[in-house]
Amino acid sequence: MTLTRRLLLLLVPALCAPLSAQESSLQLVNDDVGTSGYVRVARDPGLELQEFTLEAWIEPNGPGVSTGGPSGRFIAGIPQEGVSGSAIAPYGLHWNSATHEVYGYLSTETGSGVSTYCICEIEPGCRVHAAMTFEGSTLSLYLNGRLQSSEQASLPGITYYGNDFLIGAANYAFGYLRRYDGKVEEVRVWDYARNEEELGETLNCSLTGTETGLVAYWDFTDGSLADRTGHGHDGIAVGTGVGFAAPFVDHDLCGEEFLTFSRGDCNDDGMFNLADAVFGLATLFTGGSAAVCDDACDSNDDGTFNISDPVWMLSALFLSGAPQPLAPFPCCDVDPTPDTLPCAVSSNCP
């Protein structure tokens, strides 16, 4: 999909039709000036699972609203509202607004739990598909369909306390609200632990709601909080900070490999700096190592990797006002302007 078409997808809904008539994402605004909002789904035994997958697309925006906490803002799951202490969420996905890491967490009883997280940075304004799975003994975290981390969980079972399922808040005691600020899309709960292949095949797809094992599914189409499975897990908006925005998941990529990179990170070390320009020059002219992803070295996104790209990098680094590497920089994402440049899986992009 071209960059122009992406822009049109964002602009046309706002100019020509209400978002309530088409695909949309959930927009949660939780800031320090009094605006707050999240979604509540009534407690149901069908969501109190001993084996499960919880997945969602997220695009964090700001730090959200909360008091401290290492795991960060609560994206979705079942927290023990109004409770304080450790291990107080049967299960939940989190995004840490300080470290920009994604966490998966579950507990067997108050004070006893396990977590796993990515060694990654999902910057504000960048999107990622996050999934946590538990098959009874191992908690695993996947980003963009690829395994990031896992932890053995020697637990007798997940303990539930009759709490609601929340999207965008945990509402723990003493101000530990863990309210998430940003967009969410395609929230899904399954009654089994999906594997890497299954996650990768459907992360960009719209589901029918009738898939085997799908317990709950909120896609927010038509600006709705309805559960598309028909199981009745419909959401209720709480607060003034709940709204809807243009979709940020590209369903045109359904079934395609979701290969992400960060433009400008030519040497694939997870940063954009002088070393990338030096690496690019060495690759082009002195027999240096081949790039893992030529697309990442194509800093000006003209579909070729040549001398103009290290020059662009140097200008971006040292000339005031010079353009930075083009999209998806500074995010890890797919190429918005597909070309024939080779690109392997980046070691620093999920």
Report yes or no on 8 lying in a domain. Answer: no
Residue 60 token pair: 């964090």
What stretches of the chain show up as alpha helix (H) in DSSP? 3-16, 196-202, 274-285, 294-297, 308-318
**Same domain? 340 vs 199:** no
Mean pLDDT is lowest, of 78-87, 139-148, 178-187, 210-219, for: 78-87
Which of 168, 162, 159, 204 minimizes the C-alpha distance to 43? Answer: 162
The pLDDT score that the predictor gives to residue 68 is 63
Q: What is the count of structural domains for the chain?
A: 2
The residue segments making up the domain with residue 271 are 259-350
**Same domain? 288 vs 337:** yes
Residue 335 dihedral angles phi and psi, to the nearest 5°? -70, 120
Mean pLDDT is lowest, of 87-91, 190-194, 231-235, 310-314, for: 87-91
The pLDDT score that the predictor gives to residue 6 is 37
- For the chain, give the mean pLDDT: 89
Rounded-to-integer distance, Cα 327 and Cα 46, Å? 41
**Same domain? 243 vs 277:** no
pTM of this prediction?
0.89
The pLDDT score that the predictor gives to residue 117 is 76
The pLDDT score that the predictor gives to residue 118 is 82
Q: What is the DSSP string of 61-84?
A: -S--B-S--TT-EEEEEE--TT--
Percent of the chain at pLDDT exceeding 90:
73
Residue 12 token pair: 């046309």
**Same domain? 198 vs 99:** yes
Rounded to an integer, the average pLDDT of 152-173 is 90
The pLDDT score that the predictor gives to residue 111 is 60
Report yes or no on 32 lying in a domain. Answer: yes
Report yes or no on 3 lying in a domain. Answer: no
The pLDDT score that the predictor gives to residue 23 is 76
Rounded to an integer, the average pLDDT of 204-230 is 96
In this model, does residue 11 exceed pLDDT 70?
Answer: no
Q: What is the largest CA-CA distance in the chain?
A: 65
